[in-house]
Chains A and B, each alone.
Chain A
């Protein structure tokens, strides 16, 4: 028995390592490419640089000369953190409404909500821009944050709905019999049981807002307020010489925060087992 599990474990490890190599080799390649001069980045497929360029991170960090990446990273956090926090709260709130209550027109509103995701954003950009301009939100992070306050990201609401619907109803029935209000059931029963969903919302919303290029492009004018997604493309020009190693270097630096966040958050998935066993 023990021998069999060991062999099974070995097999799993082998598989995981092999897959990890396939998945991550390209990123390792990018890492080494950030130390190559342009000729090598585009001219050869070898992994290691022949000529090491060591200052690409230092030069890349300078950004445009006017603002450094320190500034751009801070800007991104100022945009991402509130958006994520409000998305978590509002999606749990609205998702709870759809998952646990019956009310007139519920199906209708649900389909309307999902429907808002189905129209390509290209054609909404202009009217939305004009709306946000009239609200005075241009060149602020409000076009990201305010929709989060009002559960304007249906992806997350629907996700919370699906998670809540896989929680047995007996749990809230029991709480109801104990005299809990629906609000208390939300705070004391639902939220603790939705931990994996909450962490998924945090992971996705931070990553998406972090990487969001097209919306930032449209709403943010001042370079001083640029998030990293804009900053990374700031120095790309078809007619000037571009040192690609600095751009690759900064692309890699900018995925570090999301990676760390993911590594920390994924441990909470393990906690989920504890939460899940409540219902047993």
Chain B
């Protein structure tokens, strides 16, 4: 009897989440799924229209695939950039050096600023035609270049804002590094492993759960993010080169009164993200090392 109960002990701990899920989260999710089969405009009674929204997205929407492509590129620019940068800096900052706390705080500052309106002014000033970057490059004889306005570079500049705010990933890596006991690394050093070897053989595997976590979470967030693009190029830029998926959803839902359509597009994105995440989880089984296994 007691043993059977034991099997369910975990439920005691996940119960609050389960309750919250059924009471607060399930209803909006289900409703948005139902809306995706209707012409819901937000204010009027929705009517069932079958798969029309989904068909429309795939066959008759000039922005759907374009925006999807932009979003994939955005994730491809920002995700590796942000994580690799954060990891390298975290490893450097994970040392006993005087004043290291100041450096950590300084590097974290841009993340705290978030999507504030101040950032939009700032980013324009760095990258516009008479901006700071061109002033510096001008010293070396480069011609002034319109980084934000030029369709070839605008998306990258938006991604750069994300990379600049690498602070939160860095903090997670720092926290993870603190969980690696120095003795393990020390004993490897005594065994004659070089710094690079120690990093790849010891630090990286022991940090792999946090790397996986950072990777998955950042990816989920980047696929939906549009705040960074919104402050720099409010309408997706001149040729929609920064027209991120999240921005399209927002426009369809709140500006064009097509909430049903936006719901359908959201569920398409949901399927995309969950498929990629599933693949990453399956793939990670070989790469991620857990201490509890």
A–B touching in complex (CB under 8 Å): yes
Residues of A within 8 A of B (CB): 9, 12-13, 15-16, 19-20, 23-24, 26-27, 29-30, 33, 41-42, 45, 90, 93-94, 96-104, 106, 109, 112-124, 126-128, 131, 146-147, 149-152, 155, 157-159, 162-169, 182, 193, 196-197, 199-200, 203-204, 207, 211, 213, 232-233, 236, 244, 247-248, 251-252, 255, 258-259, 262-263, 266-267, 269-270, 272-273, 276-277, 279-280
- Which listed segment binds A: B151-159, B196-204, B270-278? B270-278
Q: Looking at chain A's contact residues, is the secondary structure mostly helix, strand, loop, or mixed?
A: helix
* In-complex Cβ contact of B24 among A30, A98, A146, A262 (8 A): A146
For the complex, give the distance between the alpha carbons of A279 and B206 in Å. Answer: 14
Judge whether B217 is part of the interface by a CB distance below 8 angstroms. Answer: yes
Known: A116-B25, A162-B209. Contact between A236 and B117, CB under 8 A?
A: yes
Judge whether B32 is part of the interface by a CB distance below 8 angstroms. Answer: yes
For the complex, give the distance between the alpha carbons of A151 and B18 in Å. Answer: 9
Residues of B within 8 A of A (CB): 7-14, 16-21, 23-25, 27-29, 31-32, 35, 42, 89, 92-93, 95, 97, 101, 103-118, 121-122, 125-126, 130-132, 135, 164, 168, 171-172, 174-176, 178-183, 206, 209-210, 212-213, 216-217, 220, 224, 245-246, 249-250, 253-254, 259, 262-263, 266-267, 269-270, 273-274, 277, 290-292
Other than the given A101-B10, A103-B11, 19 more pairs (CB < 8 A) read A23-B164, A45-B131, A94-B16, A97-B10, A98-B10, A115-B274, A118-B273, A118-B274, A119-B269, A123-B253, A124-B28, A159-B172, A163-B175, A163-B179, A166-B209, A207-B111, A248-B118, A255-B112, A267-B101
Provide the residues of chain A in CB contact with B176, threshold 8 Å.
163, 166, 196
Give the nearest-CB partner of B27 in chain A. A131
Q: Looking at chain B's contact residues, is the secondary structure mostly helix, strand, loop, or mixed?
A: helix
* In-complex Cβ contact of B290 among A30, A96, A166, A244 (8 A): A166
**Are A45 and B105 in contact, with the CB atoms below 8 A?**
no
